[in-house]
Structure 1
Amino acid sequence: MRVVVVGATGHIGSYLVPRLVRAGHEVVALSRGTREPYHEAPEWSRGERVVVDRDAEDAAGTFGARVVALDPDVVVDLVCFTPESAGLLVEALRPIRPLLLHCGTIWVHGPVHRVPVTEDEPRTPVGEYGIGKAAIERLLHAETRRGGVPSVVLHPGHITGPGWPVINPAGNLDPGVWRALALGEPVALPDLGLGVLHHVHADDVAQAFERALTRPAAIGSSFHVVAEQAMTSLGLAHAAAGWFGREPVLEPVDWPEFESRAGAEHARVTREHVSRSISASIERARTVLGYAPRYTATQALREALDWLVANGRVDLG
């Protein structure tokens, strides 16, 4: 198939484009052209690269026509964040009706009542990002039901891999948390460290997108794409400290104390994750897509941390 990947050099696309090329698809990789893929692979030389500023072209009303002109059988949209942008693309695609694969997020769920949460739970998102993604999901499924552009929505967890900062055991992006766990220094955790995080390696997300291309039964559905198991902050801290032959020195604190020690921005990010504490079921993805994650949450984090250390992004002392 001829597959147009929008946001091709990002976290997921960096792994997806080589996968699609290896599978024999003709791939057109769209990106802003501001950076190379996170994951280098020889297959990049066998795909077509197109530089596109989606925001600017959405504003000009030209992005959808740009995609249609590439004559896709499949469009993989990895960087759509508003229903307005999704609507413009769908309207342009409607006359040719390619398969549209959209990247959502497990944050279409707000704080959950039952775990593991399934894709059929009512949507109660909080925050601009989750609310926007839930609105896109509704738009795409309504379009499919009307007989318009057929779509599949994949909801990743906290996307993890080498090349970028990742959510640490404290639920934020503070590199000092990794250092403290490595050196046996105290790490403050709110809510007794029982907040739940559901990571996923970027290549496992790419695997799910690749499988969705060839699963007609997936059309019109949403799928969680996460590691086999979610983990608590407590469990992740023990795992990370164990990489350095240590037991973690953990200090349970209340939220005011945590904000004082972590800083307002890191505390805000932690609260966003802990307040949701999503543990997502992958049973539907297993059954319909044949999804089989290769990485556990800790394996994905270990690979990410190795890269951060090797590239001077985290100092372990």
Structure 2
Amino acid sequence: MRYVVIGGSGHVGTYLVPMLVRLGHEVINVSRGSRQPYEADPAWNSVKQVTANRGAEEADGSFGPKIAALQPDVVIDMICFTLDSAKHLVEALEGHVQHFISCGTIWVHGTPVEVPVTEEQPRRPFGDYGIEKEQIEAYLQLKARRDGFPATVLHPGHIVGPGWAPINPVGHIDPQVFVRLATGQPVTLPNYGLETLHHVHAEDVAQSFVKASQYWSQSIGQSFHIVSPAAVTLRGYAETVASWFGQEANLSYGPFEVLRQSISQDEAEVIWDHISRSPNCSIEKARRLIGYSPRYTSLEAVRESVNWLIAHKVIEI
């Protein structure tokens, strides 16, 4: 089959594109051409590269027809962030594609009511990113059910893996938090450290796109959470990271509104984005319908990322 992957040079595409090649598929990667995969793989030698500026080409109406002209069997869209963008592409592909798989986010849920959150729970998104992704999901599900458009939406959690700084136990992306935990220095967590994060390794996200396309009849019209088997609390996460280096976590706690006064505004906003949602999502539906089977736990995925940061001297311990 011919797969067109839009945004296939990113973190997930680093694993997804070689997976598809090794399964014997023809793969076309559509990107701006400004980024190399995070890890080298000889499979990329057989991948056709198509350069596109999505924003500019959507504005002049050429992007969707350009993708349709590639005559794909399956389109995987990793980088759709607005409803207008989704509509433009879907309108060009209707009647010309066997399966369309869109990358969403677990942030479509907003604040959870019951945990673990299932795909069927009502959406209560907040923030531009979560709201736009929820609108895209609703549109694609409607197109699938009303018009027969073969759409599936996959919702990853906090993606991690080599080349990526994970969301850390404080709730932002500064990798120096891992240095502090590894060397016994004090780290302050927001509130009581019981908010949650739900990571997923990029390889497991890639696996889910392959699985969804293999089980297309069961995945069309559906949305699936793509995360590790279990979320982690900030406190448990911090204590585990410290233990990797033979340390006992030197933790203190403080109300977020007090903590934010001692850090940058950007860091405070990232922390709030994560702890206000505290994602904890079920993967039972993905296991049952498309055979999703994550290889990594949250902590295993983070540890691989941290080891990469150390090996490449992004952090020094």
CA distance in 1, matches of 2:148, 2:82: 19
CA contact (8 A) 1:144 1:220 kept: yes
Q: Which amino acid aligns with 1:220?
A: G
CA distance in 2, matches of 1:60, 1:149: 24
CA distance in 2, matches of 1:82, 1:314: 35
Q: How far is 1:264 from its partner?
A: 1.9
Identical pairs, percent: 50
Query: Which position in structure 2 is the counterpart of 1:238?
Result: 239
CA contact (8 A) 1:93 1:149 kept: no
Structure 1 segment 77-116 matched on structure 2, within 5 A: 77-116=77-116
Say whether 1:285 aligns with 2:281: no
CA distance in 2, matches of 1:264, 1:9: 31
Q: How far is 1:97 from its partner?
A: 3.4
Q: How far is 1:47 from its partner?
A: 1.3
Q: How far is 1:265 from its partner?
A: 1.3
For 1:207, what is the secondary structure of its paired residue? helix
Task: State the TM-score, normalizing by the size of structure 2.
Answer: 0.98
Name the stretch that deviates more: 66-75 or 257-266: 257-266
Q: State the Cα deviation string for residues 157-209 of structure 1 (Å, max 9, x = none).
A: 00001112221111111122111101100101112101100000000000000
Query: Which position in structure 2 is the counterpart of 1:41?
Result: 41
Question: Alignment RMSD, CA only?
Answer: 1.0
Runs of at least 5 residues in structure 2 that lack an aligned partner in the other structure: none
Structure 1 segment 165-314 matched on structure 2, within 5 A: 165-215=165-215, 216-314=217-315
CA distance in 2, matches of 1:302, 1:164: 11
For 2:286, what is the secondary structure of its paired residue? helix
Runs of at least 5 residues in structure 1 that lack an aligned partner in the other structure: none
Q: How far is 1:111 from its partner?
A: 0.7
Q: How far is 1:257 from its partner?
A: 2.9
Q: Which amino acid aligns with 1:301?
A: V
Query: Which position in structure 2 is the counterpart of 1:17?
Result: 17
Q: Which amino acid aligns with 1:218?
A: S
Name the stretch that deviates more: 170-179 or 260-269: 260-269
CA distance in 1, matches of 2:13, 2:251: 36
CA distance in 1, matches of 2:257, 2:276: 15
Query: Which position in structure 2 is the counterpart of 1:142?
Result: 142
CA distance in 2, matches of 1:60, 1:312: 43
CA distance in 2, matches of 1:142, 1:79: 20
CA distance in 1, matches of 2:166, 2:16: 19
Q: How far is 1:258 from its partner?
A: 1.4
CA distance in 2, matches of 1:56, 1:310: 38
Q: How far is 1:250 from its partner?
A: 0.6
Say whether 1:123 aligns with 2:123: yes
CA distance in 1, matches of 2:262, 2:42: 45
User: Aligned residue pairs: how many?
Assistant: 316
Q: How far is 1:312 from its partner?
A: 2.4
Q: Which amino acid aligns with 2:105?
A: T
CA contact (8 A) 2:152 2:222 kept: yes
CA contact (8 A) 2:101 2:152 kept: yes
Q: How far is 1:5 from its partner?
A: 0.2
For 1:200, what is the secondary structure of its paired residue? strand
CA contact (8 A) 2:75 2:97 kept: no
CA contact (8 A) 2:72 2:97 kept: no
CA distance in 1, matches of 2:49, 2:313: 30
